[in-house]
Amino acid sequence: MSPRVAIVGGSGYVGGELLRLLLFHPEVEVSQVTSRKYLGRYVHQVHPNLRAISDLRFKSPDEVEACDILFLALPHGEMAREFDRWAGLATTIIDCSADFRLRDPNAYKRWYKRDHEAPEMLSRFVYGLPERHRAELAQTRYASGVGCNAVAVTLALAPLAEAGLLETATIEIKVGSSEGGSLANDASHHPERSGAVRVYSPSGHRHLAEVEQELGSLPIHLTVTAIEMVRGVHLTAHCFLRSGSRLLEEKDVWALYREAYAKEPFVRLVASRTGLYRYPEPKLLIGTNYCDIGFALEQGSEVLVVMAALDNLMKGAAGSAVQSMNVMLGWDETTGLTFPGLHPV
Ligand SMILES: NC(=O)c1ccc[n+]([C@@H]2O[C@H](COP(=O)([O-])OP(=O)(O)OC[C@H]3O[C@@H](n4cnc5c(N)ncnc54)[C@H](OP(=O)(O)O)[C@@H]3O)[C@@H](O)[C@H]2O)c1
């Protein structure tokens, strides 16, 4: 019998992506999915792309029964608040919220401005980004999700940071509206959101906490701007390299990034001299689990422009969560994640 999966928070955007991926995953069976608001309704009534795909109906989070793998896609704080209950339901848990991304309770308090409700459990969770924690994920039963912007920054800068080449970086990230979740608010009202170029985090974005945990304390400056896009994260980082850096030509940059990512199934290097799609572009990644990374060296300076793109609901959330599950359960890491995207789109 296939392992039974439950998705808590299945009516949300990340929950919907988990459903889409897991219903087609050959190793698991989705047996429960929750929503309070849509209790008793068929999942396709909320996720219309799943019409005729599944006859599952939403159940209450209070009625979730024991299963093998539990995915949680709840607002921040909810999982930690009831940790014991959720932990009692399954041996394998993947929590997509920010509750268990940081290992240090003090860092959690500093960035999230509140005490953690299950601080003793923080060290039990592995950060669910297989590109950085594959070996630990293979040994754990508890994985956290990832912050979508954090994934873009971490994967884009890791080769430079780890080679000790990064002096400082100024990063601009542009994001789509689905990053804010499915709950409507004043800012998501169509006349206010449509066509917006709205800086919503000029500095101090919480995802920097994850980057700091991954890459150490770096002098990087991040601004996040909401633009006219539903899915997608697009990063442009002006990386000021250490003086005398050995990255004098683009072939050196290629060598550095190839060494880091040649074996990664979901990280692609995109830096072509010709064509329309010379650098990473989020629209080509809709529904895929790829993070595309590109770069261009500014001639005559020690500035490297690094670009990255991903789908916030996929590599930035549900895709990385399913990839982590594959690693945790010993399945081929790409299982259920091979959709190549669409073109034109
Ligand atoms: N959106 C992104 O791009 C993204 C990327 C990475 C990580 N994440 C993280 O993933 C999580 C889910 O994000 P999302 O965008 O999918 O949010 P969302 O669209 O608002 O979905 C939240 C889900 O949680 C359920 N829920 C809310 N409060 C609950 C409670 N107290 N008890 C039980 N269920 C509750 C909601 O359904 P009902 O109200 O019907 O029960 C809904 O299914 C968040 O922690 C978010 O930070 C999101």
Nearest protein CA to atom 23 of ligand 1, as residue = 9
pTM of the full predicted structure? 0.98
Contact 260, 178 (CB under 8 A): no
Contact 165, 123 (CB under 8 A): no
User: Hey, which of 96, 229, 315, 320 would you mutate to test ligand 1's pocket, going by the most ligand atoms within 8 Å of its Cβ?
Assistant: 96
Does residue 319 have its Cβ closer than 6 Å to ligand 1?
A: no
Q: How far is the CA of 13 from the centre of ligand 1 (A)?
A: 7
The two structure tokens encoding residue 84: 């014991």
Give the side-chain half-sphere CA count within 13 A for 151.
35
Mean pLDDT of the chain: 97
Q: How far is the CA of 257 from the centre of ligand 1 (A)?
A: 34
In terms of Cα–Cα distance, which of 341, 342, 319 is closest to 130?
Answer: 319
Which residue pairs, CB below 8 angstroms and at least 24 apart, start in 181-184?
181/12, 181/13, 181/14, 181/75, 182/11, 182/12, 182/13
Q: How far is the CA of 96 from the centre of ligand 1 (A)?
A: 9
Give the side-chain half-sphere CA count within 13 A for 129.
26
The one-letter code for the residue type at 284 is L
Q: How far is the CA of 329 from the centre of ligand 1 (A)?
A: 25
Contact 215, 162 (CB under 8 A): yes
- Give one DSSP letter per residue of 113-181, joined into a string: SS--SSGGGGGGPBPS-HHHHHHHHTT-SEEE---HHHHHHHHHHHHHHHTT-EEEEEEEEEE-GGGG-
The two structure tokens encoding residue 136: 């630990």
Write the CB contacts of 189 (distance below 8 Å, at least 6 apart in sequence).
Answer: none
The two structure tokens encoding residue 255: 């060598």
In the chain, what are the domains?
4-125 (3.40.50.720), 148-312 (3.30.360.10)
How far, in Å, CA of 103 to CA of 326, rounded? 22
* Predicted local distance difference test score (pLDDT) of residue 157: 98
pLDDT above 90 for 342: yes
Does residue 182 have its Cβ closer than 6 Å to ligand 1?
A: yes
First and final C-alpha spacing in the chain = 38
Catalytic residues: 148
* Predicted local distance difference test score (pLDDT) of residue 247: 67
Contact 101, 72 (CB under 8 A): no
Q: How far is the CA of 211 from the centre of ligand 1 (A)?
A: 22
Task: Quote the Cα angle for 176-96-98, to 5°.
Answer: 85
Does residue 14 have its Cβ closer than 6 Å to ligand 1?
A: yes
Nearest protein CA to atom 1 of ligand 1, as residue = 179
User: Hey, which of 18, 19, 36, 74 would you mutate to test ligand 1's pocket, going by the most ligand atoms within 8 Å of its Cβ?
Assistant: 74
User: Which tens digit of pLDDT belongs to each residue from 88-126?
Assistant: 999 999 999 999 999 999 999 999 999 999 999 999 999
Q: Stretch 180-199: mean pLDDT, rounded?
A: 97
Q: Give Cα separations from 53 to 60, 120, 143, 287 (angstroms).
A: 21, 40, 28, 17
User: Which tens digit of pLDDT belongs to each residue from 148-158?
Assistant: 999 999 999 99
Share of the chain above pLDDT 90, in %: 96
Does residue 37 have its Cβ closer than 6 Å to ligand 1?
A: yes
Give the side-chain half-sphere CA count within 13 A for 79.
29
User: Which tens digit of pLDDT belongs to each residue from 22-70?
Assistant: 999 999 999 999 999 999 999 999 999 999 999 999 999 999 999 999 9
